[in-house]
C-alpha cells in the first residue's frame, strides 16, 4: 500500500511539475505549430524595425527572439546574447490564425548592424517548433534600390533577388498552374537564366512599401504591369490547399484556395 501511494504521489508531482512549469518549450508538447518569419529581411532603413510573421493555428502567444548575427558559435543562441526576447499575445501582435494578415510587433529597441530573428508559437503552455531564422541588416549606405538589367529583368540591390520586369507574365493562374508555368522558364532560358521560380513570402514582402499604394512598391521602381494579387510558396498553417498571397495594391497579405482562385505569379531567382 505504501508503495502504491508513493508511486501515485510521484506521478502527481510529475504532472503538476509539467503543468505548473514556466518552461513553455517543453519537448513533451503536443502543439506543433510553426510560424514563418516574413520581415524584416535583407537591408533595412530603420533601426527599430517591425517584425512580421505568419500566424499559427490555435496559437495564443508568440516568443520573439532577436540577436546579433555575428556572435561567436560558443555563445550563439543563448539568452545572454538576445537583444530582444519578448512574449506577445495574438492580440498584442494584431493577429489570429482565423484572420487574414500577418502578426506584427515593433519593439522600441534599436538593432544596428547584422541581426537575425526567429519566432516560437505557443498554445497556452504548449509550444511548437522554432521558426527558421531570418537575417537583416541596418545600413547607412544609400544606393539605388533597383537595377534595370536591360534584358527584361530587374535586380533588387537590397535583397540581390532578380525579378521579371513585366509583373504580368504569369497573369491569372491557380496555384499549381502558376508553379508549373514558372518552371517552364528554364526551358525558355529567359534572360539566360534557368532557375526561375515562385517567390517565398519573405521574398514577395521584401518588395512592399506600405507608404505607397496601387501598387505598394517603392517609389521609382522600374516594374511594369503590376497586378493586384500574387502567389507565394507558403502554405497556410494547417491548410495545405491554401497559400498566402500578397495584395500589391495595398501591401496586405491574404490567402487563396489553390484549386479555385485565380492569382498571378511573379518569377524570381537569386541574383548574382
pLDDT score recorded for residue 183 = 81
pLDDT score recorded for residue 101 = 86
pLDDT score recorded for residue 143 = 72
Split at pLDDT 50, 70, 90, the class of 109 is: very high
- Strand pairing class (170-173; 161-164): unpaired
pLDDT score recorded for residue 16 = 36
pLDDT score recorded for residue 161 = 97
- Model pLDDT for residues 93-103, shown as the tens digit of each residue: 999 766 678 99
Domain annotation for the chain: domains and CATH numbers: 37-138 (2.70.50.50), 146-270 (3.10.100)
pTM for this one?
0.79
Phi, psi of 201 (to 5 degrees): -60, -50
Helices (H), the chain: 2-19, 175-183, 185-188, 201-205
pLDDT score recorded for residue 71 = 74
- Model pLDDT for residues 179-237, shown as the tens digit of each residue: 998 888 777 789 999 899 999 999 999 999 989 999 999 999 999 999 999 999 999 88
- Model pLDDT for residues 19-42, shown as the tens digit of each residue: 333 444 444 568 999 999 999 999
Q: Residue 136 and residue 125: Cα distance in Å, rounded?
A: 30
Amino acid at each position: 500500500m505504501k508503495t502504491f501511494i508513493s508511486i501515485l504521489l510521484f506521478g502527481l508531482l510529475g504532472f503538476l511539475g509539467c503543468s505548473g512549469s514556466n518552461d513553455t518549450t517543453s519537448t513533451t508538447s503536443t502543439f506543433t505549430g510553426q510560424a514563418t518569419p516574413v520581415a524584416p529581411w535583407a537591408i533595412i532603413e530603420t533601426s527599430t524595425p517591425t517584425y512580421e510573421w505568419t500566424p499559427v493555428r490555435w496559437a495564443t502567444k508568440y516568443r520573439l527572439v532577436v540577436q546579433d548575427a555575428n556572435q561567436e558559435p560558443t555563445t550563439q543562441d543563448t539568452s545572454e546574447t538576445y537583444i530582444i526576447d519578448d512574449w506577445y499575445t495574438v492580440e498584442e501582435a494584431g493577429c489570429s490564425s482565423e484572420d487574414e494578415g500577418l502578426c506584427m510587433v515593433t519593439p522600441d529597441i534599436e538593432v544596428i548592424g547584422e541581426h537575425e530573428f526567429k519566432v516560437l508559437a505557443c498554445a497556452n503552455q504548449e509550444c511548437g517548433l522554432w521558426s527558421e531564422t531570418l537575417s537583416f541588416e541596418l545600413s547607412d549606405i544609400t544606393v539605388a534600390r533597383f537595377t534595370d538589367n536591360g534584358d527584361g529583368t530587374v535586380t533588387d540591390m537590397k535583397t540581390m533577388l532578380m525579378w521579371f520586369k513585366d509583373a504580368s507574365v504569369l497573369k491569372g493562374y491557380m496555384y499549381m498552374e502558376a508553379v508549373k508555368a514558372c518552371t517552364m522558364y528554364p526551358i525558355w532560358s529567359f534572360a539566360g537564366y534557368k532557375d526561375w521560380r515562385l517567390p517565398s513570402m519573405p521574398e514577395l514582402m521584401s518588395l512592399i512599401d506600405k507608404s505607397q499604394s496601387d501598387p505598394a512598391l517603392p517609389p521609382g521602381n522600374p516594374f511594369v504591369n503590376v497586378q493586384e494579387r500574387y502567389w507565394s510558396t507558403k502554405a497556410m498553417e494547417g491548410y495545405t490547399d491554401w497559400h498566402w498571397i500578397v495584395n500589391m495594391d495595398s501591401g496586405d497579405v491574404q490567402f487563396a484556395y489553390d484549386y479555385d482562385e485565380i492569382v498571378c505569379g511573379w518569377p524570381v531567382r537569386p541574383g548574382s
